[in-house]
Structure 1
């Protein structure tokens, strides 16, 4: 992390102790040279993180902008759906004894933020914090489908498409076709795309205004897979997703 970024964060931290300050007060509290604080405050103002109030040429103060409310809202929502989802994940796990996971999109990757493991001798284990590219696996592909067509094109032009497993999609047009299929049916399935010898299926988690904030999925070893088992698990997963949607206020 660059020194300028660290110092900018230190400047922002000062406002947690005193909400409104002049440059002199901010420099003293941050223990930095006034010229440095002035430069950092200007950059934070330009980014929309600080508001400058000018009463006179000699009476200028700074305060945090309401943009932080937006950041806080997103963090709050993430904590909310994690907490709600985990309860239903455990219920589903008790019923089917398979790996259940919740995945979010962070940048150009999918991140597994919650998992409930199977107790079966042969099972897939995914650690919280594990990452995957958005083009490989049921949950990552589902998150990818939430992008607009323009965002998808940008992503596919930026990312290096690599084989992670037997059936990983690495052709841009085939990925676009898969995304369109997911959008139409409302869920995602993968067969040995991110992990070898596994089958994954995922449904979206929507918040109150219909935005996809995460994906909830089931992953099983392919030796346990049959078409009947797949349909059974998809039905159970859809019902679980609906319970989470309803608690988050999404009822469409």
Structure 2
């Protein structure tokens, strides 16, 4: 990790229950950093919302932890609780249909897999807990993309259009239509987008505010996702996603 980032994060450790506020001078003494370096790092943390600064005197400033840390803390706590509740239901689903089950959430402008249950089949997908992928690749990420708030969705699409080159195999108009279709039908399906000869199908997980906060994804060989077996997988996956949603407070009105 970048040394400046490490030094900045280390400064946050000096804020404790006993010392919730610190002056620039106190932080400089604790960190043994030059005053100019400490001030530069603190200013970056303040700009990011991790610290709040108030004037101590003409020559010093006072800092306290910012609201951004609380937001991140709540986000981590929510994900831990979601994993705890979802894991046994994911295990039951994997046992029922014998396919790989993933749980994915939005992470800034990407999707991150926060839980996984393998099948008993020889197939091993390359996804792992902590893997982050673009929101336009795979059934889980696309489902999350489809249910992202409109302004954020348009911002991501705009950035994507600016970053595309001749090698990018994405048609933005087709992607927009696909995202709209996902919202209408309530699930997402993809074929061969992350792993060759595999199919993924994903359903939304809702919180108590009726917001989509995660995607429950079922993945396996495409030959398993056909005919009657596809209907069985879709029904079981939809049921499990609904059970997880209910367990974390979702109520369908």
**TM-score normalised over the length of structure 2:** 0.86
The equivalent residue for 2:32 is 31
The equivalent residue for 1:134 is 135
1:100-155 superposed Cα distances (whole Å, 9 cap, x missing partner)? 11122334433322111111245646332334332222112112212325234224
Q: Which runs of 5+ in 2 are unaligned?
A: none
Equivalences for 1:15-54 in 2 at 5 Å?
15-16=15-16, 18-54=19-55
Q: In the alignment, is the contact (CA less than 8 A) between 1:102 and 1:215 conserved in 2? A: yes
Where 1:250 maps in the other structure, the secondary structure is coil
The equivalent residue for 1:193 is 193
Where 1:251 maps in the other structure, the secondary structure is coil
Query: Which of 148, 151, 154 is equivalent to 1:150?
Result: 154
Equivalences for 1:2-81 in 2 at 5 Å?
2-16=2-16, 18-54=19-55, 56-57=57-58, 60-81=61-82
1:143-193 superposed Cα distances (whole Å, 9 cap, x missing partner)? 2212325234224314548999xxxx7211111111010011111011222
1:223 aligns with 2:223: yes
The equivalent residue for 1:210 is 210
In the superposition, relative to structure 1, how do residues 129 and 66 fare at CA in structure 2: closer, same or farther (>3 Å)?
Answer: closer
Work out the CA distance in 1 between the residues paired with 2:141 and 2:35: 46
In the superposition, relative to structure 1, how do residues 4 and 228 fare at CA in structure 2: closer, same or farther (>3 Å)?
Answer: same
**TM-score normalised over the length of structure 1:** 0.86
How many angstroms does 1:64 deviate by?
1.0
More deviation, 186-195/59-68: 59-68
How many angstroms does 1:56 deviate by?
4.8
The equivalent residue for 1:171 is 171
Q: How many residues align?
A: 248
Work out the CA distance in 1 between the residues paired with 2:210 and 2:81: 15
